[in-house]
Amino acid sequence: MMSGRDLRARIPLLPPGPEAALIRQAALWPTVPTAPQADLLAAAEDKRLVDMAVEHRLLPPLGKILRASGCAPGSAMRAAEQQTIFRSLRQMATTLTLLGQLEKAGCRALVLKGQALSAQLYGQPDIRMSHDIDLLIDPQTAIAAHHVMINNGYHPYYPVSVDRLSLTTKDQIYTGPAGPVELHWRLFDNALLVPWDFETLWADKALIALSGNSTVPTLSRDRHVLYQAVHGLLHGWARLRWLADMVVPLQRIDDLECVLDLAERYQLLPVMVHTMRLARDVLGVELAMPVPGTERQQAIADSIDRRVDSLARTRVTVGYERVGGWARRRLAEKHLALLICPNAKAARAELFSHLVGVGDLIDVRLPRRLTWLYFLLRPLLLLRRTVARAIRKRPG
């Protein structure tokens, strides 16, 4: 059984090497400001280190610990930092613009993750790297918000209407002049996994300063941390950035008590048991309190550990981009979601989400009253997409 001190040896979140050791130190910033050891800096290959930092969204803190050691970043590092700064400024301006446009259209929105979480955790909006902007909107205004995006030059990724798309997934992805934006109408595909309705989240929101006097609404600190723990877990912690987001709250007793109380209230404590053990063993985080949990909660966390291990090994040995790796990844992620469902009702909703996928809605457009037919068609549609994916990947 995998537990406790076994996790670092068993779950390969990073490959071996001096670059990985430096990335782990960057993940601990700013709580462990110790400068990197000279032998690690000498052994690390500049481009591989930068590529790993970008992959795991840890370039800004890596730059901080390198400069703290008196080490001048190489050309690859400086070029990547310039790109990151430019993207951060562009995302900040885009976020403020879109929030203003949505407000004019009567659409309330909360900023998720990204710069809002960065400012919330570190007091600086540019510590977390983000590929896109995530906005959680009032689901009652989803169609109006969609039109706001279209009117601002964005194009939906999925060729499916908002009302049909919301049957099976949590968001629509938009591509546009300032990069991708995701509009969420719920936090997860399964609304019962973390059953927080928008009115509750809006009433409990935090206002975070992004630029000067400009503030943006986001989730309250404890909800944001728990949400990010569930989000990172469901993706097998494929990016170390998500685990790094846990470092500050896990080392502050007030933060940790609030998050654990919230997790207990919504029957998500096994998620935090797993997260605390992983942060302790993989990153060496000094937890503000011992790992809690009943025997049953610890057992569920052990099962989570095994699924995360499977996901990590699939990524390292097979690769997510290959058909076999993609299929194994999806199965492991679905299993993880079922493991952490807080009750039978949530588990049934999770199973429903497995039976109807976005690809099914795109392949066959059935009227809403015939949604049940997707259950019968899904095996054939899934097989067709898998074969098509394999053909596209086959060398010419």
* Whether residue 54 has pLDDT greater than 70: yes
Beta bridge partners of 178: none
- Given a cut of 60, whether residue 318 has pLDDT beyond it is no
Residue 181 predicted with pLDDT over 60: yes
- C-alpha separations of 328 from 322, 324, 382 in Å: 10, 6, 14
Q: Quick one: residue 36, left, alpha or beta (phi over 0 = left, psi -120 to 50 = alpha)?
A: beta
Per-residue pLDDT averaged across 154-164, rounded? 91
Give Cα 196 to chain centroid, integer Å: 17
* Helices marked H in 124-279: 142-151, 162-165, 198-203, 221-234, 240-244, 247-251, 253-265, 269-278
Over residues 222-268, the pLDDT tens digits come to 999 999 999 999 999 999 999 999 999 999 999 999 999 999 999 99
The alpha carbon torsion through 138, 144, 149, 151 (nearest 10 deg) reads -160
Reported confidence tier of residue 322, pLDDT bands at 50, 70, 90: low
Q: What are phi and psi of 209, to 5 degrees?
A: -75, 125
On the question of pLDDT at 388 being above 80, the answer is: no
Per-residue pLDDT, 1: 42
Residue 31 CA: distances (Å) to CA of 38, 117, 178, 230, 291: 20, 16, 33, 22, 19
Angle at 26 between CA 24 and CA 31, to 5 degrees: 105
Average pLDDT estimate for 55-59:
95
Give the pLDDT band of residue 396 (cuts 50, 70, 90): very low
Whether residue 41 is predicted with pLDDT greater than 90 in this model: the reply is no
Pull the structure tokens for residue 27.
Answer: 């993940």
Of the candidate ranges 3-12, 71-80, 82-91, 201-210, the one whose mean pLDDT is the lowest: 3-12
Half-sphere exposure of 111 (CA within 13 A, CB side): 29
Q: How far apart are the first and last CA of the chain?
A: 44
Radius of gyration, CA atoms only, the chain: 21
User: Which DSSP string corresponds to 197-209?
Assistant: -HHHHHHT-EEEE
